[in-house]
Amino acid sequence: MGNNIEIEYNRSRIDYLLALYNMSEDGLLSMLNEGMKNPYTKKNISGRTIKESILKKIGKIFNKDIYFFIDFSELKINSASSIFFRKNNFATQPNMEARRIVCHYEDLKNTISAYCKLGKFQFQRKLKKYTTNDSAKEIAFFYHDILFTNKRNKAKEMLKILIDNLAEANVYVFEYIEHPNKKEKSNIDGFFLRPNIIVLKRQQKAFNREIFTLAHEFGHYLLDYEDMDELDDDPLTNNHHNNSQEKWCNEFAFHFIAGKEISSSLDNIHVDTNNDYEEVIENIAKTIHLSQSAIYTHLYLNQKMTFNVYNVIKLRLNEELSDREAIRSAERPKSFSQPKPIQSNLFIKTMQLAYYKGVVGDMEFCSKLHIESNQMDKYLE
């Protein structure tokens, strides 16, 4: 078929996507007309038929293939359909790319749920739900002792251990990876989708930050409170500290990573101009998967240091970080090798069960796990 052929399509599918992405028809036209000498009008996207070339461009904007638009089954705009219909406001308002990513994992969540129903195996949360009235610190210590095994591993190894341990608790954790040269990047580090899906942005150069994001989103899971976050430990730029759920999740994440012993030692620290705790904090940061910046922010928020002292230290740490990143950037190879996301054992197990039950075939099994067909035996052992 030529790209200019007129085809019948389901216009309500475009309306559904506009609602999902909180976009107006004019906004869609603006994106379609970028770089166009002869711009499209509303007439071009509102008839009973549409040019295939336009439909493909719309599909590219929303990460949908053409078959999505020629499907005439109904898509309902309600709270069951998407987090974007359940909530209007988020801890971080997602940009267009972030919305694409969230929608992708919502589709995956629905697919997993369907596999589980067809294969007659379980897809639900196991762990207890809490509220912000419960002690974030005590709950963090409880789960630290259960999930934070082999604490002295390197950050990436620790992240894999946590993902595996959460899999045992029936929590799916997925990573998404953005190419560094990508023009439009998502503005969120992670999010939680009910009942038991956590999604993280791969932080290839800062796995400790990704661990903190995982801990924070695990806090959302424990509260059963859906949200999406761009995590920033600076209280001057991060309004999360004024939101009860975000404040709870940040406190939980810090103590979950630090554990009771380190947390107790930090409770006894008071930093001022008359004492020097820099070496102490530096050594603590080396023993746990928290940055010095995160530790100092915790001390400041818990009134263990004044703003002036905190600000001087924070500026110094930021300068040191910029210097290290400049050195790494200069040493980094010109070519980029795309890293592979950490696979959740729970998702692998789900795909295995779906395959053995005949719910999925070879092609779908490989597609969902992002593997070649000659690797199947390895994943079916």
Question: How many Å separate Cα 320 from the centre of its chain?
Answer: 27
* pLDDT tens figures, 193-223: 999 999 999 988 889 999 999 999 999 999 9
Q: Is the pLDDT of residue 365 over 60?
A: yes
Compute the chain's Rg from CA coordinates: 23
* pLDDT tens figures, 150-177: 766 789 999 999 999 999 999 999 999 9
Share of the chain above pLDDT 90, in %: 66
Provide the whole-model pTM.
0.91
Q: Can you read off the two tokens belonging to residue 211?
A: 């661990």
Pick the range with the lowest mean pLDDT from 7-11, 178-182, 241-245, 307-311: 241-245
* pLDDT tens figures, 103-157: 999 999 999 999 999 888 887 889 999 999 999 999 999 999 999 887 667 899 9
Q: How confident is the model at residue 233 (pLDDT cuts 50, 70, 90)?
A: low
Task: Label residues 184-211 b or e (16+ Cβ within 10 Å = b).
Answer: eebebbbbbbebbbbbbbbbeeebbbbb
- Residue 104: partners with Cβ closer than 8 Å, 6 or more residues away: 63, 176
* pLDDT tens figures, 66-108: 999 999 999 999 999 999 999 989 989 999 999 999 999 999 9
Q: Which pLDDT does position 1 carry in this prediction?
A: 45
DSSP string, 249-290: HHHHHHHHHHHHHHHHHHHT----TTS--HHHHHHHHHHSS-
Question: What are the domain boundaries of the chain?
Answer: 6-77, 136-331, 343-379
* pLDDT tens figures, 293-341: 899 999 998 888 889 989 888 899 989 888 887 887 776 666 667 788 9
* Contact assessment for residue 245 and residue 223, using Cβ atoms and an 8 Å cutoff: yes
Q: How far apart are CA 206 and CA 2, in angstroms?
A: 47
For the beta carbon of residue 325, count every other beta carbon within 10 angstroms.
Answer: 12
The listed CATH number (1.10.260, 3.30.365, 1.10.10, 1.10.3470) that belongs to domain 6-77: 1.10.260
Q: Is the pLDDT of residue 242 over 80?
A: no
- Pick from 299, 321, 322: nearest CA to 310: 299
Q: Which pLDDT does position 240 carry in this prediction?
A: 52
